[in-house]
Amino acid sequence: MPNHHRTSTPLPPRFAMPSPFTWGVALVFLALFIQGVMATNLTLERLLRGGVNLVHFIGRAFPPDLADLDVLAWSMFETLNIAIVGVTIGVVLSLPFALLAARNTSPTPWIRSITRLMIATMRTIPDLIWALIFVVAVGLGPIAGVLAIVMDTIGFAARFFSERIEEVHPGPSEALSATGAGRLSVIGGAILPETLASMTATSLYSVEKALRSAVTLGLVGAGGIGVELAAAMRLFNYDRALTIILVILIVVIGFEQLSSQIRKRVI
């Protein structure tokens, strides 16, 4: 009989024994999850009662109230204006932030570090917090929503712009530099043309994101159709609230489809 020698083969990396650090992180996460469930009082009884209340809400919301559809359409148009103006200004301001934050275009490391910190700060603070800050600063209305979306867009777009700039192949930039071109000429002639498609796609995503944000910003008084939705919910006009939700749904889905078609042609 042939003598079969058993050889021990190491387990694949995905089946390897986790390190003590990994076990520690998993235990901390599990403890936080359990504590969170207990703190939120998440019980089956509450979920069932919430389901019954949701059925009652839907029953009172149908049929939707179409009496002031023209007013709602204008409020939705205002929301669209807030999103487009805020994103346009935010994207324009994101470009210099991205150039200062990218490793291959930033003048000095300390400027790069400070710019990255500013971008991270703008990205970390939620848009609702920005809206509350600007409502206090400039008062109620669309201007607070526009400023909040500007800050949120810079935090979102500048990060992806800078990462795309760092991924640019150095060949064209080096060729321009060899001919004596200055820093701005290299950026305009080699870096920006190669990143334009990616930046366009990111800008379109920013508009989609801002359109959804602009709706919620209205809940804190930053203008747009969110103000109408908050008023309808407070007055228990659920049929009017359903109409507002349907208007938002149609516009958001329509813009997402338009944005998708534009990206297919650009990228």
Q: Where in the chain are the domains?
A: 20-56, 69-266
Query: How many CB atoms within 10 Å of residue 130?
Result: 23
Residue 113 vs residue 266, higher pLDDT? 113
The CATH number given to 69-266 is: 1.10.3720.10
Contact 152, 128 (CB under 8 A): no
Which residue, among 152, 153, 189, 149, has the nearest Cα to 172 in the 3D structure?
189
Cis peptide bond upstream of 2, omega within 30:
no
57-116 pLDDT, tens digit each = 788 778 877 777 888 888 888 888 888 899 999 999 999 998 888 888 788 888 889 999
pTM: 0.76
Question: What number is the average pLDDT over the span 108-131?
Answer: 88
